[in-house]
Amino acid sequence: MPIVEAHILQGYSPTEKSRLSSALTDAIRFVVPAPDEAITVMLHEYPSEAYARGGQHRQPAPALPDPAQIVRDYLAAMEARDLDTAQGMLGDGFQMVFPATQPMTDLSELIAWSKGRYRFVKKTYDGFDAMHSGGVAVVYARGTLYGEWMDGTPFEGIRFIDRFEISGGKIVRQDVWNDMAEVRAK
């Protein structure tokens, strides 16, 4: 039964501490074959005046935003066609790659590219998976697409996976995979 103890400065909200406990539990599960209920995480909090580094008292760093929530908010803005909000969630050097496309760096490129493909498309989500890899947060959004082809014929149940990279609270990359071309070819 693994027991993990972490020492943190006071100042994090209950939600942030819960996120930290879940992330530590997940990290243990990557290596140790224990069920979640067998993993104990204890957070020990200390007031900032009880901690010094380099002779200086320090304040806790602000918690990073939940990367899965960033992706949810971005996708909701895109579906609502609130492009200004969605664009504001993108970081410097942002790239998105869809099947059979070159990387796009601006949402207007995506809108122009998709105009001749369908009248509209929306997503039903089966889940969001978040992890940390190579210095960025990685979020996978998965589910199915539904909408209407250009001739007005409805479609649904088309599988998709979107992979996002988040750095500094901003989306810096989006890769999209889906079965739209295969379904359309039928």
pLDDT at residue 85, as a whole number: 97
Residue with structure tokens 């007031």? 47
pLDDT at residue 99, as a whole number: 86
CB atoms within 10 A of CB 58: 12
Closest listed residue to residue 125, CA positions, set 64, 55, 68, 41: 68
pLDDT at residue 61, as a whole number: 86
CB atoms within 10 A of CB 153: 10
pLDDT at residue 56, as a whole number: 87
Sketch out the chain's domains with CATH numbers: 3-57 (3.30.429.10), 67-185 (3.10.450.50)
Query: What's this model's pTM, rounded to 2 decimal places?
Result: 0.86
pLDDT at residue 125, as a whole number: 97
pLDDT at residue 151, as a whole number: 93
What sign for the dihedral angle of Cα 129, 146, 118, 184?
A: positive
pLDDT at residue 6, as a whole number: 95
Instruction: Kindly report the backbone phi and psi dihedral angles of residue 66, in degrees, each rounded to the nearest multiple of 5, phi listed first.
Output: -65, 115
Instruction: Please report, for residues 7, 46, 49, 51, the alpha-carbon distance to residue 55 in angstroms, rounded to integers and kept in the order given.
Output: 19, 17, 11, 9
pLDDT at residue 88, as a whole number: 97
How far is 178 from 98, CA to CA, in rounded Å?
A: 9
How far is 160 from 140, CA to CA, in rounded Å?
A: 10
CB atoms within 10 A of CB 60: 15
Residue-by-residue pLDDT tens, the chain, 186 positions: 899 999 999 999 999 999 999 999 999 998 999 998 999 999 999 998 888 889 888 888 899 999 999 999 999 999 999 999 999 999 999 999 998 889 999 999 998 988 888 999 999 999 999 999 889 999 999 999 999 999 999 999 999 999 999 999 999 999 999 999 888 877
